[in-house]
Structure 1
Amino acid sequence: MATTLAEFEAKVLLDQTLSTNHKSIIIPIELQEKEDSLPTNRFNKLFKLLIIYCLVLLVYPVYLGYAIYWHNINSINISWCEGLGFLLVVSTLVYTCLCYSFVLSPLVDHISFDIRFPGSMEKVIQSNEVRCAVSSIIILGCIIFLIIDTQDDRYRLVSAGGILLIILFGFAFSANRKKIVWRHVIWGIFLQIIFGILIMRWDSGRDFINCIGSKVDTFLGFTDSGSSFVFGYLVDQKPFLPTKLENGSLAKLVAEEINNSTAVKNIVVFKALSTVYFFSFLTSMLNYWGILQWFVQKIGWLLQTTIGTTACESLSASANIFLGQATTPFIIKPYLGQLTLSEIHAVMTGGFATIAGTVLAAYISLGVSSAHLLSASMMSAPAALAFAKLFYPEKETSRTKSDKISIKPPSEVNVLDAATQGASSAGLLVVNITAIVIAFIAFMSFINSLFEFFGDQVGIHNLTFDSILGKLFIPLSLSMGVEWNDCEKIAKLIGVKVVLNEFIAYRELGLLIQNEELSPRSAVIATYALCGFANPASIGIQLATLNSLAPQRQADFARVVFRAFISGNAACFLTACIAGTLYNEFTYVQL
């Protein structure tokens, strides 16, 4: 028994020794494998960078050079908005941005610009008197410009008066008139005017936005390739297959004529809303590569520098141009819990006052000018900040500084994962749009029938909710500069947009434009006035999104959301007034 116990103890000791030796052997091998893999990973990264640099710095410039040479020897004209000319413009912009980001920006970051003025001069520069003087010069310059510019058409001053009325409305119902910082308001409107002049009055700016609009139309037209493959004649409006019919027969001739005339009505959910899938697919790829974030940061910096709003407000307003109200809050998610009530109000107003790039495509497909929609979305960003700071001024100290704001990298595995997630998420967006449009149009018909029923009982025939809205918003449409003959039509569209949905309003606007029932001036003003998500359904979308990101601020979100809803609509109307002020029928070129 003793021998057996000794053997057992010896065996246990041997197993422990072998186990210890085994571990001592295995661990260094695993570490060694990791260490061996590090040089391999570094080599792979360097190899990928080398390939990218070769393509960007060597192969692509050689291709461009040969393309220019080929066009010259074949005497082909180069237009800056078509073919090689457009490619050269885009390439120049891309290389300029790359040079700034990777060469100039790192150099500038190491240089300290410390400009000091004498104490007395610094006090003078920062004094309220100097700021008031600068603001007064800006206002005086705008007035002189309008007096000179409207010599041929004084009716445009009606739209300028509309700007004053909307600002007066914001001032009268401001949450705290004593705290209003007029720099925010003046600079916001001034930026709108500058954008409007560049786009609507400057030939090169108008040509540029026309070019971008046409490229957007062409690009989104590729959606039909995918949607027609899935939905067939519901998209391409060609229900017949003439190749299956006998040559020369009457049936084949009739089928070809119907196909060529596209006499079959397309279905909105299959034709117009299919663009949302494609656009969301693209924006997700741009977001993964960081291109979208780069543009957002630069525009945010511009708004912060000029208007003087905080970093979160400016970043959110610029992101709304591309992303929309349901996606933009994710960019400033880490800071939502620290925002003041005024900042929350400005973030919400930006969401209400602009439209997302994903649904921009759907509105374009309804027959609305793509160029005007693009410019309206850009002009509404500073308008949102201006009116938000007028309607709900800052009463607290901001805790979000510009140097603390950063955009987190994407969480997707690769660009393919980002693109597929974007297309998949667009499916939910399309379903939501479809459901809201169906429900609201049905509800609108029900409300109209009720008004018509009650009107008939007292001898008022054809009384509808649409007609009441058309009467209520006539003063607003008139103050924006809409021609009197079109006032009731535009007022009805504004009412539909405010009470129901901007998609329905744009659908009606597209029909009015198609049937030539509106003057060009009224159509332009309406396009700008409707360009925003400020409708009751968007209130729920914003509250649901923000509450999920910052549950501890639910009460604050609910406290300011209705004011933000009014501010978002007012910002859209401000943009429409500026468009009406700058519109000149004598020099107008269809955008």
Structure 2
Amino acid sequence: MSALQFQSLLGLPLLCALAWACGGCRRGVRPRIVAAGLLGQVLLGAALLHVPPLRAAFALVGGAVNALAAATRAGTSLVFGYLGGAPLPFAETAPGASFILFFQALPLVLVVGALSAVLYHWRVLPAVVALLARGLRWLFGLSGACNLGVAANVFVGMVEAPLLVRHWLGGFSRAELFVTMVAGLATISGNMLVVYATMIAPVVPDAAGQLLAASLISAPAAILTALLMMPEREGAPPSPDAEAAQPRLYDSTMDALVRGTADGLGLLLGIMASLIVFVALVALANAALEPLTGLTLQQIAAWLFWPLAWAMGVPAGECATVARLLGVKVVVNEFVSYLELASTGGAGLSERSRLVLAYALCGFTNFGSVGIMVTGMAAMCPERRAEIVSLGLPSLVAASIACCMAGATVGLLTPP
């Protein structure tokens, strides 16, 4: 084991200690939960990264992402012409200047949203989710709808996953509610996974498979950090067993295709609006802050997140770069962080550090996503609105630590 791998190994219990220290309850943490969470992450990561058949599956996932990107480009080229990726009618004087994010990358959300809806209607996604939920039950001893909500978050968004268990949300214990919220922020949805993988493919090998592995590893990490911050009370009644009762959402394949496209359009416009607003607000804050202090929000974030970068096993000389992008993720969103990682080519970072960073960025851990999740879940379960709102910021803290745990796990399993 190299020194950097040992640094990642040391970082995992340090991140556990941080989650425990950030919680409001210092008692009730069960050793079984800690052991299951850490072993679950490491064993899952080892299987996904080092078992040859699963490694080969990464190449298949990458090929599927490339096929989706090419198919989407055919559609955007037809609708938007050269803005959407069709051949340019003029010479490009600045390399890369013809790439327009909204017209070429973001429409993937529409295609993947429609396909996801069809796969759900065909019961493919529910079968995979139920399998993962049973694995989480075996690891953590959680039962029923809470497992289903966490498992669904690996493939769908932080609002869509609770929709699958909305009939049981009102009966969740406070800890189960918190686990569901943390899992929603610590993972990414399938449509965004495809977009991010397309963006960072030149920087991170097997990007699609790596991001899928990151989202899977983040599921036990999210449960662990959530239960360290808010342990389940002994004797709390289990939530209902909903693993076999995933509701049908669509009347037919065509209905799934149409509604999935419409949902994707809403997400596409929401991403566009969020990017404009949050990037503008950060620029405005920096314009006011820098003349007074000589610092920007990104520089402040680089200091605050430096220990987390080190705990993931990043070399000290590269921690500032990794920490700054972690800070950008929380202040703005992970889209901007991945975009900067891709546009700079991971300048100043080794291949291992780029991989660790890709795992740590793989989650909706930002203030905007907290607002979206809290609003959506409060609408589903209005009788617990105040409780959901009060858990919003703590869930952001727990999910951020969980994403760093995923980074530390891949750091432990990846030699320099």
Please tell me whether the aligned partners of residues 288 and 415 of structure 1 are also in contact (alpha carbons under 8 angstroms): yes
Question: Distance in 2 between the 1:279 and 1:365 partners?
Answer: 13
Question: Distance in 2 between the 1:392 and 1:271 partners?
Answer: 42
Aligned: 1:566 with 2:397 = yes
Letter in 2 for 1:291: V
Please tell me whether the aligned partners of residues 237 and 266 of structure 1 are also in contact (alpha carbons under 8 angstroms): no
How far is the alpha carbon of 1:209 from its aligned partner? 1.7
Partner of 1:442: 280
Aligned: 1:165 with 2:14 = yes
Larger relative contact order (CA 8 Å, sep ≥ 6): 2
Partner of 1:426: 264
Aligned: 1:370 with 2:208 = yes
Letter in 2 for 1:415: T
Please tell me whether the aligned partners of residues 130 and 243 of structure 2 are also in contact (alpha carbons under 8 angstroms): no
Please tell me whether the aligned partners of residues 330 and 366 of structure 2 are also in contact (alpha carbons under 8 angstroms): yes
Letter in 1 for 2:76: S
The one of 300, 313, 318 aligned to 1:481:
313
Aligned partner of residue 178 in structure 1, secondary structure = coil
After superposition, residues 365-404 of structure 1 pair within 5 angstroms as: 365-368=198-201, 369-395=207-233, 397-402=236-241
Partner of 1:10: none
How far is the alpha carbon of 1:264 from its aligned partner? 4.1
The one of 241, 248, 256 aligned to 1:409:
248
Change (3 A) 1:207 1:332: same
How far is the alpha carbon of 1:403 from its aligned partner? 6.5
Please tell me whether the aligned partners of residues 213 and 374 of structure 1 are also in contact (alpha carbons under 8 angstroms): no
Change (3 A) 1:404 1:382: closer
Please tell me whether the aligned partners of residues 309 and 385 of structure 1 are also in contact (alpha carbons under 8 angstroms): no
Q: Which segment drifts farther, 288-297 or 554-563?
A: 554-563
TM-score, normalising length: structure 1? 0.67
Partner of 1:540: 371
Letter in 2 for 1:501: N
Please tell me whether the aligned partners of residues 360 and 404 of structure 2 are also in contact (alpha carbons under 8 angstroms): yes
Partner of 1:64: none
Aligned: 1:472 with 2:308 = no
Letter in 1 for 2:48: I
Please tell me whether the aligned partners of residues 448 and 464 of structure 1 are also in contact (alpha carbons under 8 angstroms): yes
Question: Distance in 1 between the 2:78 and 2:287 partners?
Answer: 40
Letter in 1 for 2:54: G
Change (3 A) 1:312 1:487: same
Partner of 1:492: 324
Partner of 1:522: 353
The one of 82, 93, 101 aligned to 1:233:
82
Question: Distance in 2 between the 1:166 and 1:264 partners?
Answer: 41
After superposition, residues 211-222 of structure 1 pair within 5 angstroms as: 211-222=60-71
Please tell me whether the aligned partners of residues 321 and 381 of structure 1 are also in contact (alpha carbons under 8 angstroms): yes
Per-residue CA deviations over 1:356-413 (Å, capped at 9, x if unaligned) read 1121122123224222111101111111111111111112623424378611222x33
Question: Distance in 1 between the 2:169 and 2:363 partners?
Answer: 23
How many residue pairs match? The answer is 410
Aligned partner of residue 274 in structure 2, secondary structure = helix
Please tell me whether the aligned partners of residues 370 and 392 of structure 2 are also in contact (alpha carbons under 8 angstroms): yes
Please tell me whether the aligned partners of residues 217 and 370 of structure 1 are also in contact (alpha carbons under 8 angstroms): no
Question: Distance in 2 between the 1:238 and 1:517 partners?
Answer: 33
Change (3 A) 1:465 1:167: same
Question: Equivalent pairs: percent with the same residue?
Answer: 29
Please tell me whether the aligned partners of residues 498 and 534 of structure 1 are also in contact (alpha carbons under 8 angstroms): yes
Question: Distance in 1 between the 2:156 and 2:243 partners?
Answer: 22
Change (3 A) 1:393 1:438: same
Please tell me whether the aligned partners of residues 324 and 355 of structure 1 are also in contact (alpha carbons under 8 angstroms): yes
Partner of 1:265: 98
Change (3 A) 1:494 1:202: same
After superposition, residues 191-340 of structure 1 pair within 5 angstroms as: 191-236=40-85, 238-240=87-89, 258=92, 263-340=96-173
Larger Rg: 1
Aligned partner of residue 170 in structure 2, secondary structure = helix
How far is the alpha carbon of 1:258 from its aligned partner? 4.8
Please tell me whether the aligned partners of residues 184 and 309 of structure 1 are also in contact (alpha carbons under 8 angstroms): no
Please tell me whether the aligned partners of residues 145 and 243 of structure 2 are also in contact (alpha carbons under 8 angstroms): no
The one of 333, 337, 344 aligned to 1:501:
333
Question: Distance in 2 between the 1:403 and 1:349 partners?
Answer: 20
The one of 356, 368, 381 aligned to 2:189:
356
Aligned: 1:187 with 2:25 = no
Please tell me whether the aligned partners of residues 157 and 189 of structure 2 are also in contact (alpha carbons under 8 angstroms): yes
Please tell me whether the aligned partners of residues 65 and 198 of structure 2 are also in contact (alpha carbons under 8 angstroms): no
Letter in 2 for 1:467: Q
Aligned partner of residue 517 in structure 1, secondary structure = coil
How far is the alpha carbon of 1:308 from its aligned partner? 1.3
> Which structure 2 segments of 5+ residues have no match?
202-206
Question: Distance in 2 between the 1:420 and 1:390 partners?
Answer: 42
How far is the alpha carbon of 1:530 from its aligned partner? 0.7
How far is the alpha carbon of 1:174 from its aligned partner? 3.1
How far is the alpha carbon of 1:539 from its aligned partner? 1.3
Please tell me whether the aligned partners of residues 237 and 263 of structure 1 are also in contact (alpha carbons under 8 angstroms): no
Question: Distance in 2 between the 1:405 and 1:218 partners?
Answer: 33
Aligned partner of residue 357 in structure 2, secondary structure = helix
Please tell me whether the aligned partners of residues 238 and 258 of structure 1 are also in contact (alpha carbons under 8 angstroms): no
Please tell me whether the aligned partners of residues 311 and 405 of structure 1 are also in contact (alpha carbons under 8 angstroms): no
Question: Distance in 2 between the 1:504 and 1:403 partners?
Answer: 36
Question: Distance in 2 between the 1:465 and 1:572 partners?
Answer: 21
Letter in 1 for 2:236: T
How far is the alpha carbon of 1:528 from its aligned partner? 0.7
Per-residue CA deviations over 1:395-435 (Å, capped at 9, x if unaligned) read 2623424378611222x331111101110111111111000
RMSD: 1.9
Letter in 2 for 1:380: S
How far is the alpha carbon of 1:548 from its aligned partner? 1.0
How far is the alpha carbon of 1:515 from its aligned partner? 5.8
Letter in 2 for 1:319: A
Change (3 A) 1:280 1:190: same
Partner of 1:554: 385
Aligned partner of residue 186 in structure 1, secondary structure = helix
Aligned partner of residue 314 in structure 1, secondary structure = helix
Change (3 A) 1:429 1:194: same
Question: Distance in 1 between the 2:256 and 2:128 partners?
Answer: 19
